[in-house]
Structure 1
């Protein structure tokens, strides 16, 4: 293990009240969003109950059909909620944070898929018990008997494809670009499945109030997406447009891109934030990728440091000087404002060194003395190491080597306790691959660090 001590040290940071207020505001925002989601589900249940036939449990066929209808209605509401969570609505992001919204979006995805499948299965089973047809024949009968069912079938298949692509086993085998464009089809799937609900749904055909409420739900969701996901970001991106100044190879598989722009100081980028970056160059136009900032704007320049994890990032070294860049953001609450203790541990792995390096600099400027644990498999992968060791007041511990070679886990509880005693009294910021982040959090919890003092930023939007 290599240990590098900075030349100077500053006094411990004090504990500003504003930081506690920020954390409290996020907790309140999270509760409000959860309450709104629960209230929407209760409203759907009330809508279904008010319009369900009195004899909906008179026979097994009626009961199954009614359950299928309820599953479809709940699934539709959760789909709208999923879209709204990542529509970049300012209130949601300010109250909760984009990282947590993305996590909730993922969690809701499983529920949506299960409800969509339940909707189809129970409707078919209910019809099968009534008509005595085999399941396949009943499915064909449903498709032929109700309006707008062909488009609904296409939309349902799209939903299932998106859901499967997010399963961990499949997601790890897909490039970000393929995953991204599969998820874009969600908008088409919502559109394709909407009309059959109004034209064939038993709870909408004869109930105009329900129809109006459903239309308003979808129109509101569409308006939010168009406004905050497309129109305003496109306008802001044009105003804050940048150009590539240089691409620097920091280590094998790690590159920094320096950007220049006239309005960088107005973006409000903080250490720990990330931007959705789109390079106007062949091979990069199709998607905007989330890249963390490794050097905050200064003198009209900004830097992102990127690991070669996909097709998009592997093409970064080929970017030409002067390439036009559009960026959305900043996003994320992985900032120094979340720190409420004077002793701070920063843990980086892989491309996570970018935001950790920026965060270490800001914390040091605030008077803190952060300790950085930098986990890599080989010495050659220690990107930005010279910059880290040059930061006054920052202590750096490179943790180099594979576990099979070392014979132990450098991020295990025992190893962490030997490097930094009394971790229960510290606060931690973790950025890196998901598996690494989970290991570090587990070790810190084992060492009795309270969960509220462990902050994570995963290098993924998927």
Structure 2
């Protein structure tokens, strides 16, 4: 095993995550203020229900554009906040969008129904059949209702990822329909040239961000680097490492702890992308991922042929040394969650303690590498084995292994149950929140 010395950035005083999060909040608040000003300039009108409906529609359009920004996979945001948190925010903004658009449809229809002395449903049919853009808006709302329904936890758990993702793609159809509705009947498009320019600019930035982050950057990077499988190395009966090489990999902005969406271009798997972390720090010559068999897709990895073309989207994730706040570090891994932790160990140069939680020694992936690397770097390695209960990383046990845990940055990666338990333990031991770093794979369409 070869390690490459790197100049490690010092712990940052200003947290990149806080800067990015504050910037997003400020961006949303500033745009909400602009939308309100343009709404008031256009003249709210005398009917309260119609006024509330129009304002809800404008805020709904703003939230829809903001949602697109959250899942655009722009590197600056992703590397500071992380795809998992951006996806979570996208989900909650989606529920806010659902309620604002329902309010828009309800208040507008009730307002016009009252003015015409008609029933709600008669007025809705009248608007849909006589007013340009309204039918498109109804279709867009119906799509958003379906997407919101399948994104609810009880439904999401029952759907295959591919099914959920396919349904989620209809969000883009809803966006186009909603925007054409806004252009057709939105008062800000007809009464103010400044507001018209603002909305065109807003939608241009939102859709342009998605196109840049989801299409342009991945295609450009893959054309530039020409990735191919260079070696397939079985690590155990159910774990395999894939080595990937390409051109100018020293120019690929990947960091230890990050992951890619890997697509191996074979005739039966080219359409399937899976998230795997780098299991070794990038050295400018090759990338390595290590995967545990969890289904047909991962089982097929050990049968990949050397030379297979690879399309990789990324790098993604904020689980990197960019977010360190202390000089010394504790790394906690469970199971195959060791892969990004192993890469981080290679990338850290101050005193490191690594705790690897597995059921048995046979489950410890890359253990020989970890021992060699820990010895070379002067790190402490603790392999903790045994059943899940009793908790061998409970507060007392963890404090015994790492007495100065509250003075360290802590990076945690493992199965959800273990990760949640360790996070509770860290909080019980008084480890400040800014020193705790974890990330979950969460993909959004």
TM-score, L = length of structure 2: 0.86
8 Å Cα contact 2:243-2:286 kept in structure 1: yes
| Corresponding residue number in structure 1 for 2:35 | 44
Is residue 236 from structure 1 mapped to residue 221 from structure 2 by the alignment? Answer: yes
| Corresponding residue number in structure 1 for 2:147 | 162
Instruction: Map residues 352-363 of structure 1 onto 2, 5 A cutoff.
Output: 352-363=337-348
2:311 counterpart SS class: strand
Instruction: Map residues 67-146 of structure 1 onto 2, 5 A cutoff.
Output: 67-93=52-78, 96=81, 98=83, 100-131=85-116, 133-146=118-131
**Cα distance between partner residues in 2 of 1:315 and 1:25:** 38
8 Å Cα contact 1:251-1:381 kept in structure 2: no
Is residue 371 from structure 1 mapped to residue 362 from structure 2 by the alignment? Answer: no
| Corresponding residue number in structure 2 for 1:330 | 315
8 Å Cα contact 1:177-1:312 kept in structure 2: no
Is residue 430 from structure 1 mapped to residue 412 from structure 2 by the alignment? Answer: yes
Instruction: Map residues 38-437 of structure 1 onto 2, 5 A cutoff.
Output: 38-55=29-46, 62-93=47-78, 96=81, 98=83, 100-131=85-116, 133-251=118-236, 254-298=239-283, 300-308=285-293, 312-363=297-348, 366-368=349-351, 370-377=352-359, 379-391=361-373, 392=375, 393-403=378-388, 406=389, 408-437=390-419
The alpha-carbon distance between structure 1 residues 25 and 379, as it changes in their structure 2 partners (threshold 3 A), is closer
Gap runs ≥5 in structure 2: 1-7
| Corresponding residue number in structure 1 for 2:12 | 20
1:32 is aligned, of 23, 29, 46, to 23
1:40 counterpart SS class: helix
The structural deviation recorded for 1:423 is 2.2
**Cα distance between partner residues in 1 of 2:133 and 2:295:** 39
The alpha-carbon distance between structure 1 residues 190 and 253, as it changes in their structure 2 partners (threshold 3 A), is farther
Number of aligned positions between the proteins: 434
2:410 counterpart SS class: strand
RMSD: 2.9
The alpha-carbon distance between structure 1 residues 460 and 247, as it changes in their structure 2 partners (threshold 3 A), is farther
The structural deviation recorded for 1:356 is 0.5
8 Å Cα contact 2:84-2:442 kept in structure 1: no
**Cα distance between partner residues in 1 of 2:10 and 2:354:** 25
The structural deviation recorded for 1:251 is 4.8
1:448 counterpart SS class: coil
Deviating more after overlay: 186-195 vs 219-228: 219-228
**Cα distance between partner residues in 1 of 2:299 and 2:116:** 57
The structural deviation recorded for 1:435 is 4.0
Deviating more after overlay: 267-276 vs 392-401: 392-401
The alpha-carbon distance between structure 1 residues 122 and 320, as it changes in their structure 2 partners (threshold 3 A), is farther
The structural deviation recorded for 1:96 is 4.8
8 Å Cα contact 1:240-1:326 kept in structure 2: no
1:347 counterpart SS class: strand
**Cα distance between partner residues in 2 of 1:217 and 1:154:** 22
Gap runs ≥5 in structure 1: 1-15, 56-61
The structural deviation recorded for 1:402 is 4.0
The structural deviation recorded for 1:447 is 0.7
TM-score, L = length of structure 1: 0.83
**Cα distance between partner residues in 1 of 2:440 and 2:318:** 12
2:422 is aligned, of 412, 417, 440, to 440
